[in-house]
């Protein structure tokens, strides 16, 4: 699936200074959600500590719980989200309108990550 | 998909954290600006003829503030004179980039210039050459934020005086204020806890013995969520920098910040709720007196002690340097 991915507001610092991946070929397939994209970004593009970008655990409880010992990678990835304070836009609109991590990506979607945690 | 809750026509682009409503881009930009206008009007922040200095760091908050105020002034004719005021703390690799962003906001092409006059005041010129780079070289990184905070506070006052400003507006947003409420609560700093939610702050009590006018400061974005400020900047394609200061780990504030963001995820109204709690405490404790103000016997700036905090720090820095200088002069 081809996606355009943007890192703004300081997020780019976690991705080696890259702020745009335009029409970027990803190995994600039909049915992939934002969670799959986050796992892909973590494994292939992050250049800094993943905990500055990702949150493992229930976003609703707000807990940054660590995965249980022995949890498989898939179990952990099913709880992946971004850290609170990072805004996610899907095609220039708030991901909270589209089910957040569970949004099903579509060909040519634009996903924007903007940090509110830097500067100011 | 559902429609914007305001215009009932366009698709929504944002879920508002304060009330959970869905709004489209155009309605969001309008309502965000109008809410800042309501804050200005209901608190009587501006009077016609006022000279208002916008404290501009080049970051998201002050950049959004400058743009919103310029637009609101065109729409509502406040009759005030705006200018931008920036402080150069002397931090290479941080402040130089952000000052360049302020210059672009002020009026250099190509990006939607506001055409506002800009005054830059540097720590170096005010405090005997003590840039923050030099402070850190001398005392190390630990405790350097104290120097920066005290110096920047006074630099803002002096810059405002140069601009003959009647008011300084700063970009502090709802998240910043909620964070400060939490920190003061956690530290048990009751005096600051009851003061930190005030929308306008005066350093000087006008009825004190040393009746020295200090430019009041106010926070027009006090009720604006950080998320909405960032979305506003994104939708208007504003030019701001998001670099962190190279010297500031902000350890304690950082923890308060992470905690607050987690609270917000679970319950978005938490940020405004915390501000309201702080405001309620202020009402409950009215009648507490603040220290009276005099002037510094060294530099003449407003101060509640005989020598102002900045002069005390400069003095301390100068003594710090003596051993280094003597060391060089000593025969080996």
Q: Dump pLDDT digits (tens) for B36-72.
A: 999 999 999 999 999 999 999 999 999 999 999 999 9
Query: Quick check: is B7 in a domain?
Result: no
Residue B213 lies in a domain: yes
Tell whether B242 lies on the interface with A, counting CB pairs under 8 A: yes
Cα gap A24→A39, rounded to integer Å: 16
Among A62, A89, A115, beta carbon nearest to B263: A62
B118-122/B200-201 β-pairing? unpaired
Beta strands in chain B (DSSP E): 14-15, 22-23, 51-55, 81-88, 118-122, 167-169, 200-201, 217-218, 294-295, 302-303
Binding-site annotation: residue ranges of B: 55-57, 61, 87, 171, 176
Range of the domain at B280: 36-241+250-291
Q: Annotated binding residues of B for ATP, as ranges?
A: 55-57, 61, 87, 171, 176
Say if B23 falls within a structural domain: no
pLDDT tens by residue, B262-292: 899 889 999 999 999 999 887 666 655 556 7
Structural domains in chain A, sorted by start: 2-115 (3.10.20.30)
pTM here is 0.86
Four-residue CA torsion sign, A55, A93, A11, B102? negative
Whether residue B286 is contained in a domain is answered as yes
Is residue B312 in a domain? no
Which tokens hold the place of B312? 């005390």
Are A87 and B230 an interchain contact pair (Cβ–Cβ within 8 Å)? yes
Q: Which of B224, B238, B261, B268 to mutate to test the interface with A (most CBs of A within 10 A)?
A: B261
If phi over 0 gives left and psi between -120 and 50 gives alpha, with beta otherwise, what is residue B51? Answer: beta
Residue A97 is nearest to which of B15, B231, B257, comparing CB atoms?
B15
Q: Which of B192, B271, B263 is nearest to B226 (CA)?
A: B271
The CATH number given to whatever domain includes residue B193 is 3.40.50.620
B327 inside domain: no
Chain A CB contacts of B15 under 8 Å are 94, 96-97
- Evaluate whether residue B194 is within a structural domain: yes
d(CA A7, CA A15): 8
| Domains identified in chain B, total number | 1
- Tell me the C-alpha distance between A15 and B35, whole Å: 36
Residues 6+ apart with CB under 8 A from B280: none
Structural domain contains residue B202: yes
pLDDT more than 90, % of chain A: 62
- Is the confidence metric ipTM above 0.90 for this complex? no
User: How many residues in total does chain A contain?
Assistant: 120
- Give the model's confidence band at B325: pLDDT under 50 very low, under 70 low, under 90 confident, else very high: very low
Whether the CB-CB separation of B34 and B6 falls below 8 Å is answered with no
pLDDT at B64: 96
């Amino acid at each position: 699936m081809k996606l355009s991915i943007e890192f703004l507001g300081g997020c780019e610092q976690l991705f080696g200074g890259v702020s745009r991946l335009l029409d970027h070929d990803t190995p994600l397939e039909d049915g992939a959600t934002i969670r799959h994209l986050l796992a892909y970004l973590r494994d292939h593009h992050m250049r800094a500590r993943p905990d500055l970008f990702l949150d493992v655990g229930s976003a609703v409880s707000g807990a940054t719980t660590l995965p249980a010992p022995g949890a498989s990678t898939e179990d952990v990835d099913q709880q992946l989200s971004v850290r609170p304070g990072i805004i996610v836009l899907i095609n220039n609109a708030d991901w909270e309108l589209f089910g957040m991590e569970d949004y099903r990506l579509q060909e040519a979607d634009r996903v924007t990550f903007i940090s509110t945690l830097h500067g100011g | 998909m559902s429609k914007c809750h305001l215009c009932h026509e366009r698709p929504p682009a944002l879920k508002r954290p304060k009330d959970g409503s869905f709004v489209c881009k155009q309605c969001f930009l309008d309502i965000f600006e109008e809410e800042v206008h309501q804050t200005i009007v209901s608190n009587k922040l501006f009077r016609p003829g006022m000279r208002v200095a916008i404290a501009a760091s080049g970051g998201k908050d002050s950049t959004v503030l400058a743009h919103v105020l310029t637009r609101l002034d065109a729409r509502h004719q406040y009759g005030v004179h705006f200018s931008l005021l920036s402080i150069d703390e002397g931090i290479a690799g941080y402040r130089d980039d952000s000052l360049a962003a302020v210059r672009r906001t002020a009026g250099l092409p190509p990006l939607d210039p506001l055409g506002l006059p800009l005054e830059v005041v540097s720590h170096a010129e005010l405090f005997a050459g003590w840039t923050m780079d030099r402070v850190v070289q001398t005392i190390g990184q630990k405790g350097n934020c104290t120097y920066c905070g005290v110096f920047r506070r006074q630099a803002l006052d002096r810059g405002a005086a140069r601009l003959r400003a009647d008011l300084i507006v700063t970009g502090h947003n709802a998240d910043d204020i909620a964070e400060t409420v939490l920190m003061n609560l956690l530290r048990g700093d009751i005096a600051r806890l009851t003061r930190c939610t005030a929308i306008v702050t005066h350093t000087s009590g006008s009825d004190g013995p040393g009746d020295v006018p200090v430019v009041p400061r106010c926070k027009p974005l006090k009720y604006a969520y950080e998320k909405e400020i960032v979305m506003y900047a994104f939708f208007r394609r504003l030019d701001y920098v998001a670099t962190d200061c190279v010297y500031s780990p902000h350890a304690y504030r950082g923890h308060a910040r992470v905690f607050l963001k987690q609270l917000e995820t679970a319950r978005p109204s938490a940020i405004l709720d915390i501000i309201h709690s702080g405001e309620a405490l202020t009402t409950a404790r009215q009648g507490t007196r603040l220290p009276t103000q005099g002037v510094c016997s060294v530099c003449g700036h407003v101060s509640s002690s005989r020598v102002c905090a900045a002069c005390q720090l400069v003095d301390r820095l100068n003594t710090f340097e003596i051993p280094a200088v003597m060391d060089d002069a000593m025969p080996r």
